[in-house]
Structure 1
């Protein structure tokens, strides 16, 4: 959830607390330090278990941008995450060419614009949660950056301000859908995003698609759940249906927001559809409300996701991968100093189904401090 309206947030993240030099070199950053504990480690929740951990929600990043000339700039962002042993990743590295004040062309390593919060997904200070609801936001973590190009056009029509973004690129990296990691390639990876704002209201809709390849996935009856699924498909003569060799995956997203300065609301819905039967189609959504009282913000969120299996033999095979989960999050945020926020959360998680089996429930208790500098 945003704690400030978008123009103010942009100013906070991109203008305030910057080191600006005479040669137009700008440096800014953000940090989150979090801790959490899960009441039942048979439940999967943000990487936590029943021992207190300080790694899962801890992240530090530094962004450097340089204005080359009136129309061209370069931007890079380095991120180190506690749950990845603080190995540094270059999550952004792109050049921007501005045709005019409303049209930007970027090429390089970009953020994949899947969600409402994608542009500042790791900037904990930008929303009230300690982490965005995993039922909606964690499903595409692996693919959060893309090597490619995008074009963004901003516009105004009467009292409506908006933007259109289109992008195209490619992704190749390791992917861990269940237990084992595989090489995954997303070719012809592209999409479009439309954002509109009028007064206190905002909307966003987006569409994304890519051709999926997993060259090192093989049938193995004693392997992880994914390899066993491929082996079962081969036994039933369904090899083609479960072979991700250029099959298209499509992702849809829509969000609506309201923010009058003291009260905030967001609803976001997503749907993921696969041409291959190896991965299940699913739908997920969240509904969240927040109210600000001076420097404190109280928020409540419900989120859920559900896999959808096919019928017949395909559905019987897919049943071993099915998942269904919901959560309720109650939290508070305290902006006790400039650029600094303290957060506390309690989240009830109900895993109704996990890998086709009846799941369990748990409470996740978390605290965090978020900073921008």
Structure 2
């Protein structure tokens, strides 16, 4: 067997070297070994061909704030909101050691579809119930954490942006340990994780999370699954460094504003809890989240509830989601009354920039109606209509705002997606 390694964007070198060595070693052993013996190698893929239409011309609707464009201002009909392609290679080296690499191609901040490594880790199964992984690992902070990139795995066109955009980062580079146990009829899995992650979100703009540490617990009883997680991290984003450096030139009042809002090694906390009940003919699921950043990212509450009924291969559904903030989406900034005219002019400019940042704290709600049709095994088509409404003073999850954008108006979005797995 010949294993070809593609030039994808790679995790830190130590993880890449270890995972690639494991995969290559497994492939070489498979070429020499007997059929059915270790190592076992599997290849799978998934994708979404989607298009979204938004009735708005002064902003873009998008599925992730890390994308370059969306539907609306950039393109009235956009394929970039949901379209992606992914591939996964799994190698079971023996009964205890295995490795996985998953690559996903979707629009990024640059507008390109350059594939990126979503997962790349090695797993050691110490006992049937205890396992350890190291490398690039999915952050286990939502119900859909293990499949949020796989559109075929959920009924809606996309996970509600109000909740899933609260933590747009989906993986971290580090280690985790998982323990499966049972109490009565309830199956449990407890997972602890530690790592770091970073993303380039624009030209010369980088988001870094160090000391990502958390705990996730999943309980399953019959048709019910419950997951709760908590994490903390030290977050740095250099988007507004120049703004807060300028504020500091105004002495104590400016320093206080910089300390209040700047994101430089800022300790952030996130909590999420969700429940999914799916007896087969119908389903209902809901998640709650709490994000606390003490910065211009804001402190937010998120929630959604979705339900659907299956009529054979057709599943109509409805969903309601929201994100609200208990931190200010505006600030008077520096007082200009006692400043000389030139300094007052600069202060007003800085205050305007600060309030544009604070308006990015999402406050919005969305009602969605849709239907999924399972065409054949492994292929499904979903149609969805949404009515999104931002609140006054917030742009919500919209991006690429025009200068004359006015929040508070409803945005109507129509989406169609064909999801597949192979």
Contact 2:143 2:275 in 1 (8 A): no
SS in 1 for 2:310: strand
* 1:314-367: CA deviation from partner (whole Å, max 9, x where unpaired): 799665444310001101001120111011111111112325963321111111
The structural deviation recorded for 1:230 is: 8.1
1:172-187 aligned within 5 A: 172-175=198-201, 182-187=205-210
- 1:39 matched to 2:55? The reply is yes
Q: Name the SS for the 1:32 alignment partner.
A: strand
Rounded to whole Å, the distance in 1 between the matches of 2:421 and 2:223 is: 25
Paired residue for 2:164, among 127, 130, 137?
137
**Backbone CA RMSD of aligned residues:** 2.7
Q: Which residue of the partner structure matches residue 24 of structure 1?
A: 40
How far is 1:251 from its partner? 0.2
Distance 1:231 1:144 in 2: 37
1:350 matches 2:377: no
Q: What pairs with 1:218-297 in structure 2 (closer than 5 Å)?
A: 218-220=241-243, 235-238=253-256, 239-274=258-293, 276-297=294-315
Matching residue within 359, 363, 366 for 2:412? 363
1:66 aligns with 2:86: no
Q: Give me the whole-angstrom Cα distance separating, in 1, the residues matched to 2:163 and 2:327.
A: 19
Which TM-score applies when normalising by structure 2? 0.75
| Shift of residue 312, structure 1, vs aligned partner | 8.2
Tell whether the 8 Å contact from 1:40 to 1:361 is kept in structure 2 after alignment: no
Structure 2: any 5+ residue segments left out of the alignment?
Answer: 1-29, 63-69, 335-350, 397-405
Q: 2:78 matched to 1:53?
A: yes
Separation in 2 of the partners of 1:166 and 1:56?
A: 32
**Cα distance change of structure 1 residues 265 and 320 upon mapping to structure 2, 3 Å threshold:** closer
SS of the residue corresponding to residue 155 of structure 1 reads: strand
Distance 1:71 1:296, change over 3 A: same
Count how many residue pairs are aligned between Structure 1 and Structure 2. 344
Q: Which of the pair is proportionally richer in strand?
A: 1
**Cα distance per residue 1:167-190 (max 9 Å; x no partner):** 0001123246xxx76223211111
Give 1:194's match in structure 2, choosing from 213, 217, 235. Answer: 217
Q: What does residue 308 of structure 1 align with?
A: 326
Matches of 1:101 and 1:298 in 2, distance apart?
39
Q: CA deviation at 1:163?
A: 0.5
Q: Does 1:164 align with 2:183?
A: no
CA distance in 1: counterparts of 2:313 and 2:251, whole angstroms: 56
1:10-42 residue CA offsets vs partner (Å, 9 max, x unmatched): xxxxxxxxxx97541110111110111101133
In the alignment, the residues of structure 2 paired with residue 313 and residue 147 of structure 1 have an alpha-carbon distance, to the nearest angstrom, of 39
TM-score (norm 1): 0.84
- Equivalent in the alignment of 2:141: 114
Hey, what's the Cα distance between the residues in 2 that align with 1:121 and 1:244? Answer: 27
- Relative to 1, partners in 2 of residues 1:55 and 1:230: Cα closer, same or farther, differing over 3 Å? farther
Which is higher, the Rg of structure 1 or of structure 2?
A: 2
User: How far apart in 1 are the matches of 2:128 and 2:199?
Assistant: 35
The Cα shift of 1:240 comes to: 2.4
Question: Given the superposition, is the C-alpha separation of residues 349 and 77 from structure 1 closer, same or farther in structure 2, using an over 3 Å criterion?
Answer: same
2:307–2:318 Cα contact (<8 Å) kept: yes
The aligned counterpart of 1:206 is 229
- Assess if the C-alpha contact under 8 Å between 1:219 and 1:230 holds in 2: no
Work out whether residues 121 and 136 of structure 2, in 8 Å CA contact, stay in contact via their aligned partners in 1. Answer: yes
Unmatched tracts of structure 1, length 5 or more: 1-19, 221-225
Of stretches 198-207 and 236-245 in structure 1, the one that deviates more from structure 2 is 236-245
